[in-house]
Amino acid sequence: MEWFLDPFALGFQQRALAGGILAGLMTAVVGTWLVLRGMSFFGDAFVHGIVPGIAAAVVFDINPLLGAAAAALVMVLAIELVNRQTALSEDTSIGLLFVGMLALGVIIISRVDSYSGSLTTILFGDALGVTSQDLIVQAILALIVISVATLFYRPLLALSFNADKAQLWGLNPGRSHIALLILIAAAVIGSFQSVGTLLVFGLLVGPPATAALVSRTVPRMMFTAALISVFSVWLGLTLSYHLNTAGSATMAIVPVVLFFIVLTFTRLRTIRKEKVASHA
Amino acid sequence: MPDVVIGQQVVITRGSQVAISASDFTIPQGKITAIIGPNGSGKSTLLHAIAGLLPVSNGKLTVLENTPLISSSQISYVLQYTTVPTGTPLTVAEAVAMARYPRLGLFGRPSKEDKRVVASAMERLKITDLAKRHLTELSGGQRQRVYVAQGIAQDHAILLLDEPLTGLDINSAKTIDSIIHEEPDRGCSVVLTTHDLEEARAADHVILTAGMVMACGKPEDVLTNENLTSAYGLGSLHEHHGTNLMLPTEHHLDDHAH
C-alpha cells in the first residue's frame, strides 16, 4: 500500500497528480478528434510552435499562458496564410511553421538565463512545480474544453466522417475545424505547465490512439482515452517517484508503451479468430 | 408536373477551370433523371451545384423554386467515393443515424419518428443485420448501401446519387436500383449520374453532359447516335445489337490501348 500512497503524500505531489489528471482529461477529449482527423503532425508542430511565446513571456515577465496563446494564434494564422497563398500541401506549411517557431523559441531562450525559461522546462514541464493557482486556471480551461467539445460533438463527428457531408447537413465544417483548432490550443495551453509542451503531445496522441484500437464508437473512444490518460498520469508519477525519473516524461511514455501492449493483444486476438474461422 | 430544378445559362467553375459552360436544363418532379457523359464532363459538378456545394458562377440555377443553398435542407446527396478515415470508430447504425443531424441540430434527442426512419432506411437497404458492424469492416457494396440508407434517412424532396451503381456486387446493385425506382412513388425526385447507357435509357429524363449540357429531355430524344457521337467523340462508340450504340467500356479502352 505504501508503494501506492507514498508518491502522493505531500502537497506538491498531490498537485502534480491533479494537474496531470486535468491535462489528461482535456487532451483525451481533444486528442480523440486530432487522431480521427489525421492531424497528429499538426498537433506535434503546434506544441513546438508555442515555445517562442512562452519564452518571450518569460523575457517580458508576462503570464506564459498569454505568450503561448499569442504564439498559437500566429502559428495557426501563418499556416492558413501559406495554405491559401500557395499550392503547397498542408504538411509543408505546417512543417515550415514547426521549424520556424521552434527555432525562434530556441533563439529567445538562448538569451534568457532562468529556470522557468529554459528549453527543458518548457518542453518537458515541471510536474512537481504546479501551484494551486495553476490548478485553478487549468480546471477552468478543462471545463471550457470539455463543454465546447460536447457542444461540437455532432459537427466534429460529421467533419471526421466527410467534410462535404457535414456541409450538406448544415453543420458548417469550416467553423467546426476552427473550433477544433481552438480546442487543441486550449488543451495545450492548459496543460503545458504541468506536463510540458512536448509531452502534452504524448497525452494528445497516445491515449486516443490506444483507445482507437479497442473502441467501436467515438464516445467510447473518448471515455477510454480519458481512462488511459488518468491511469498514465498516476502510473507515470508513481513510477517516477520510485525510479527517481523525470515525472512528465514518465507520464508521457506510459500511454505509448500501453499502445504497443494493446496493439499486441488485439493483433493476437485477430490472429486467433482468423485461425478459428479457418478451421470452422 | 413542375420542374424541381431549372438551370438557365448556368456556368459552373472549379478553381480556374470552367467545368460547365453556359447551359440550360430542367429536372422534372417525381421522376428519375440520369446525368450521363464522359469522364470529366461535369456530371458530379452539376450535382454539387444542385446540392449547394458549388456556387454557380453565372446564369441562374433554381432548385425547388429557390436558390440551391436555401433549398439544401430538402436535398439529400449520396456522394461518390465517400471515404471514411480508417480507424474512425463508427458503426453502421450510427452512420445512418447521422442523417438525422439536420433535424436534430447540436443537442436534439432522436424521437421515435427519427428512430423509425433510420430503422426503415436500414431495412430497405438490407443492412439491419450489419447495424453493429464497423464501417471499415464492410465490403464496397455493403458500404455503398449504408451511404444510400444514410441518403434516404435524411428528409428530402430530391435525392442526388453520384454513380450509385458503379463497381457494385450484383446484390448491392439490385437493392440500390430498387430504391432508385421506389423513391419517385414516395414523391421524391431522383437524380443520378451514370456511365451506363442502358441505365440512362431506363430513366424518365436524361441530361447529356460534355463540358456543358448538350441535351436534356426524354431518353429517346437525348440519347441519339448524333448526340452521343458528339459528346463522346467520333470512333469511341461501338455498334451493339445492330442499331444500339454502346459507350466504351474499360475492356474496349484496354483493347485500344494495346
pLDDT band at B29 (very low <50, low <70, confident <90, very high): very high
Q: How far is CA B199 from CA A220, B120, B164, in A?
A: 43, 26, 11
Q: What separation in angstroms does the CA of A17 have from each of A24, A76, A131, B32, B52?
A: 10, 31, 12, 63, 50
* Residue at A30: amino acid letter: V
Domain that holds residue B214: 3-223
Question: Can you read off the three cell numbers belonging to residue A227?
Answer: 481512462
Number of domains chain A contains: 1
CA distance B130 to chain A (A): 14
Output the CA angle A176-A182-A185, nearest 5 degrees.
145
pLDDT tens for B168-210 read: 899 999 999 999 999 999 999 999 999 999 999 999 999 999 9
B168 φ/ψ angles, rounded to the nearest 5 degrees = -100, 155
d(CA B120, CA A200): 45
In a domain, A8, yes or no: no
Angle between helices A218-243 and A11-36 (to 10 degrees): 140
Provide the 8-state DSSP code for A104: H
| Residue-by-residue pLDDT tens, chain A, 280 positions | 788 888 888 888 889 899 989 999 999 999 999 999 888 899 989 888 998 998 888 888 888 889 999 999 999 899 888 888 888 888 899 999 999 999 998 898 888 766 555 777 777 777 777 888 889 989 999 999 999 999 999 999 999 988 899 999 999 999 999 999 999 989 988 888 777 877 788 899 999 999 999 998 899 999 999 999 999 999 999 999 999 988 888 888 999 999 999 999 999 998 888 888 877 6
User: Tens of pLDDT along B114-153?
Assistant: 999 999 999 999 999 999 998 888 888 999 999 999 999 9
C-alpha cell at A94: 505546417
B206, B44 in Cβ contact below 8 A? no
Using CB atoms within 10 A of its CB, is residue B45 exposed (0-12), middle (13-18) or buried (19+)? buried
Instruction: State the Cα–Cα distance between residues A15 and A25, nearest whole angstrom.
Output: 15
- Chain B residue closest to A36 (CA)? B88
On whether any CB of chain A is under 8 Å from the CB of B85, the answer is yes
CATH number assigned to the domain comprising residue B35: 3.40.50.300
Domain for residue A228, yes or no? Answer: yes
- Cβ of residue B245 closer than 8 Å to a chain A Cβ: no
Nearest-by-Cβ selection for B77 from A35, A168, A216 = A168
Interchain CB distance below 8 Å, B82 and A165 = yes
B51 inside 8 A of chain A by CB: yes
Is residue A3 one of the residues assigned to a domain? no
Domain that holds residue A70: 13-279
**Is the Cβ of A175 closer than 8 Å to some Cβ of chain B?**
no
Interface touch B89/A164, C-beta < 8 Å: no
Judging contacts by C-beta atoms under 8 Å, the chain A residues touching residue B132 are 216
DSSP state of B190: E
Q: Are B172 and B141 in contact (CB under 8 A)?
A: yes
Record: contact A151-B106, CB cut-off 8 A: yes
Assigned domain for A5 exists: no
Amino acid identity of residue B66, one-letter, is: N
CA B182, CA B152: separation in Å to the nearest integer? 11
Q: Are strands B3-14 and B17-28 parallel, antiparallel or unpaired?
A: antiparallel
**Per-residue cell: B90:** 463508427
Residue B233, Cβ neighbours under 10 Å: how many? 12
State the Cα–Cα distance between residues A273 and B105, nearest whole angstrom: 40
User: Cα–Cα distance between B244 and A232 in angstroms, integer?
Assistant: 69
Q: Do B154 and A220 touch (CB under 8 A)?
A: no
Q: Which residue bears the cell 485500344?
A: B256
Residue with cell 431522383: B190
Rounded to an integer, what distance in angstroms lies between the CA atom of residue B153 and that of residue B96?
Answer: 7
A-chain CB neighbours of B99 within 8 Å are 169
Q: What is the pLDDT of residues A215-248, one digit of tens each?
A: 988 999 999 999 999 999 999 999 999 999 888 8
Output the CA–CA distances (angstroms, integers) from residue A255 to A18, A128, A261, A266, in the order listed.
18, 20, 10, 16
Which residues, other chains included, contact A168 with Cβ-Cβ below 8 Å and sequence gap of 6+? Answer: B51, B52, B53, B72, B75, B76, B77
ipTM of the complex: 0.85
Q: Would B232 be classed as within a structural domain?
A: no
Question: Phi/psi of residue B33, each to 5°?
Answer: -110, 130
Place of cell 496563446: A69
A214 touches chain B (CB under 8 A): no
Residue B70 CB neighbours (<10 A): 12
The answer to whether B176 and B168 have CB atoms below 8 angstroms apart is yes
Return phi, psi of residue B134, to 5°.
-80, 140
Place of cell 449504408: B146
SS3 annotation, B134-189: EHHHCCHHHHHHHHHHHHHHCCCCEEEECCCCCCCCHHHHHHHHHHHHHHHHHCCE
Minimal C-alpha gap between B209 and chain A (Å):
23
- On whether the CB atoms of residues A108 and A50 are closer than 8 A, the answer is no
B232: distance to nearest CA of chain A, Å? 30
B76, B98, B154: residue with CB nearest A158: B98
Residue numbers in B near A151 (CB within 8 A): 106
In-domain check, residue A7 = no
pLDDT at A115: 56
Torsion angles phi and psi, residue B181, rounded to 5:
-85, -20
Q: Give the separation between CA B136 and CA A252, rounded to whole angstroms.
A: 30
The string of pLDDT tens digits covering residues B104-121 is 988 889 999 999 999 999
Cβ–Cβ under 8 Å, residues A34 and A40: yes
* pLDDT for A122: 77
Query: Are the beta carbons of A26 and A141 closer than 8 angstroms?
Result: yes
Among B211, B233, B251, B168, CA closest to B17: B211
Tally of domains within chain B: 1
Say whether A221 and B89 touch across the interface (CB within 8 A). Answer: yes
Assign residue A115 the CATH number of its domain. 1.10.3470.10
Task: Give chain A's end-to-end CA distance (angstroms, integer).
Answer: 48
Angstroms from B161 CA to nearest CA on chain A: 13
**A2 inside 8 A of chain B by CB:** no
